[in-house]
Amino acid sequence: MSEAKISELKNDIDELNDLLKLAKRKRVQDLLSVEVRKLETEWIKLRDSASSSITPMEVTPVPTTSALVPEKRYQVKLNGYGWDQSDKYIKVFVTLKNVHNLPKEQVYCKLTEKSMELIVENLENKDYTLLINKLLEPINVGESHWKQKTDMVVIFLAKQHPNIKWSHMTEIEKKFEDQRNNRFKSDDFDKKDPQESIMSLMKNMYETGDDEMKRMISKAWYEGQQKQKTSTLYL
């Protein structure tokens, strides 16, 4: 009777391990791992009890539970994206290689009237997030949606006020542009080197701005450097 039960438990453990390899969601993986450990404990007790009363025999070692722990995934924060608009939608384009191969439940957005967060889970052992706060205008969460395309996710943010053109994606970007334009119009600007005025303005806004402002300034500085390099090549 003991030998039959030992064999049955071993078969159960093997089958649960096979299911664990196929499981995608963390909660399911954790539940299966706990059940495997319970059966392993019971299996070991029965095996040891049986071996004490019979002639020792060769037994295949059970896999250690450490091998069953899901591999830790890397967290990646995205900054780069493109955007366009129609009368009804703001369209956000996020490039991610092989994202089209993921199940739909692993690619989703968290939306509010003034923010969007794209979440991509377990893409080649990495979790990606893109957070855009303080959108320039409010969006209609219920009418917004997203699609997976080849190596890209496109988010359709429904405008709460259709037909209104957005000049910028976020309030931060507009604020930065307005401050820069106001600085250019000041009397002091004519007395200073334009490049020096721009750098002074960006430095001041970077030091006093929040994380989103700092990200936008870094992006603007990088794009400016790239344009300067390109212009130099064609001289």
What DSSP string runs through 45-56?
A: HHHHHHHTTS--
What tens digit of pLDDT does each residue of 146-179 get?
999 999 999 999 999 999 999 999 998 888 888 8
Continuous segment of H or E residues that includes residue 185: helix 171-185
Give the orientation angle of helix 2-22 with respect to helix 26-51, to 10 degrees: 160
The alpha carbon dihedral of 212, 215, 220, 221 has a sign of positive
For residue 11 the two structure tokens come to 């078969």
Mean pLDDT of the chain: 79
Ranking 12-26, 55-69, 207-221 by mean pLDDT, the lowest is 55-69
Mean pLDDT (whole number) for 68-82: 82
The tens digit of pLDDT for each residue in 95-106 reads 999 999 999 999
Strand partners for 157 = 90
Confidence (pTM): 0.53
**Percent of the chain surpassing pLDDT 90:** 40
Read off the tokens for 83.
């955007």
Domain ranges across the chain: 2-57, 74-159, 171-233
| CATH pick for 74-159 out of 2.60.40.790, 3.30.200.20, 1.10.150.20, 2.130.10.10 | 2.60.40.790
Query: Higher-confidence residue: 63 or 114?
Result: 114
pLDDT of residue 137: 96
- pLDDT, position 91: 95
64: closest CA among 80, 40, 45?
40
pLDDT value of residue 56: 44
Both structure tokens of 92 = 């956000």
| Arithmetic mean of pLDDT, 130-143 | 95
